[in-house]
Amino acid sequence: MANRPLSPHLQVYKWGPHMAASIFHRVTGDGMSFVALPVLLWWLGALASGPEAYATFTAVATSWIGYVVLVGISWAFFHHMASGIRHFILDMGAGFELKANRSGSIATFAIAFVLTAAFWAALLLL
């Protein structure tokens, strides 16, 4: 019998885009929970608290760090959405072939990038 581990471990798996897409799906879900939710609640609280509180929120949100956070949140949303659609397709039993799985994984990153760029272009140009 070959000298192999009893159960697969990280050294056994070959890293690829499918693993990155799965890991990023989890990270973006957590990121939206721990970053986007507090930002949303701060925005809603500022709306309810009056012009001064909203001006403070707007000043922070339109600073360079605010834009970095907001672009990150929007990228996380679009990546999580694209990856969720990929997982839905996998749940239906399609896309398990290695080439299709790899292509779908890479597509989640490309779709997230394109949708984020289009979203911010529409926000900033309109």
Numbered residues of the known binding site for heme? 80
Dmax over CA atoms of the chain, in Å, equals 73
28 Cβ partners below 8 Å, 6+ apart? Answer: 75, 76, 77, 79, 80, 83
Binding residues: 80
Phi, psi (rounded to 5 degrees) for 2: -70, 150
